[in-house]
Amino acid sequence: MTPRSLASIDSSHDDQIMSFFNPSKVGTAIRATGWDVSEEMERLVDLARNSSGKTSIDAMKRIREIVREVAELNGMITTATATVVEADGNGKTITQSATKLVSSIQRSPNAISQDSTGTIAAIYLPSRGSTT
Find the length of the chain: 132
**pLDDT at residue 112 tops 60:** no
What does pTM read for this prediction? 0.54
Residues 101 and 79 sit within 8 Å (Cβ to Cβ): no
Mean pLDDT of 112-119: 44
Show the CA angle centred on residue 60, arms to residues 54 and 63, nearest 5°. Answer: 140
Higher pLDDT, 16 or 110: 16
What is the pLDDT at residue 119?
A: 40
